[in-house]
Amino acid sequence: MTGLSGVPPLVICRVMRHSSWATTRKHYAPGNVQSDAAVLRSVLAEKETAVTKKAAD
């Protein structure tokens, strides 16, 4: 399993020197960050498309 960054969660945990994945998740992914990030990416992509389309006109 890999995260959105393509890095396996346990590798992130070891690099951050946390004793468990739960600790890493607690500090770096509170709430539902992944779905919130997906919404943000979608909105930004729509805006970028609109700007690009307007510039082409």
Prediction pTM value: 0.41
Locate all alpha helices (DSSP H) within 1-57, ordered by sequence.
Answer: 9-15, 21-28, 33-56
User: Does residue 9 or residue 18 have the better pLDDT?
Assistant: 18
Q: Does the pLDDT value for residue 36 go beyond 80?
A: no
Residue 52 lies in a domain: yes
Q: What is residue 35's predicted lDDT score, i.e. its pLDDT?
A: 75
Q: Is 31 left (phi over 0), alpha (psi -120 to 50) or beta?
A: left
Average per-residue pLDDT for the chain: 79
Q: Which two tokens stand for residue 4?
A: 């959105």
Looking at the structure of the chain, the number of domains it has is 1
Residue 33 lies in a domain: yes
Parent domain of 38: 9-56
Residue 3 lies in a domain: no
In this predicted structure, which of 1-5, 6-10, 12-16, 43-47 has the lowest mean pLDDT? 1-5
Q: Does the pLDDT value for residue 43 go beyond 80?
A: yes
Residue 27 lies in a domain: yes
Residue 20 lies in a domain: yes
